[in-house]
Amino acid sequence: MKKFDKHEEYLEAIKEGKSVLLFSANWCPDCRVIEPFLPELEEKYSEVDFYYVDRDDHIELCQEMDIFGIPSFVAFHNGEETGRFVSKQRKTQEEIEEFLESVK
C-alpha cells in the first residue's frame, strides 16, 4: 500500500484512475485487525490504487474529508469521490469487500 508524506501528494494521486484511501493509525486496534488481509484485497482489486493515510500525520486531510473514525475507506474515480466506508466501528474483510464491489 502506497504512503505519502504530504497530503497534496494524496490529492494528486487520486486524480486519475480508481483509488482508495485507507485512513488508519498505528495505535488503532481495529486498524491492526484488518492489516493481515489488506494485501489479499489489494491483489483481488488490482485495478484500484490503495493509499495508506496515517490519521495522526495527516489530520488536516482527515478534517478536509470529514474522517472522524478509523479505519475508514474513501474511494475515488478520476478525482471524484465514488463512495466511503467511514465509521469508528471494526470492519470485517467481507464488509470491506462489499464496499470495494460497490465502488468498482
The catalytically annotated residue of 21, 28, 34, 48 is 28
Give the active site residue among 14, 21, 22, 31. 31
**Catalytic residue check, 62:** no
Check whether the bond before 36 is cis (ω within 30° of 0): no
**103: closest CA among 67, 69, 78?**
78
Q: Which residues contact 88 (CB under 8 A, 6 or more apart)?
A: 30, 68, 69, 70
Residues involved in catalysis = 28, 31
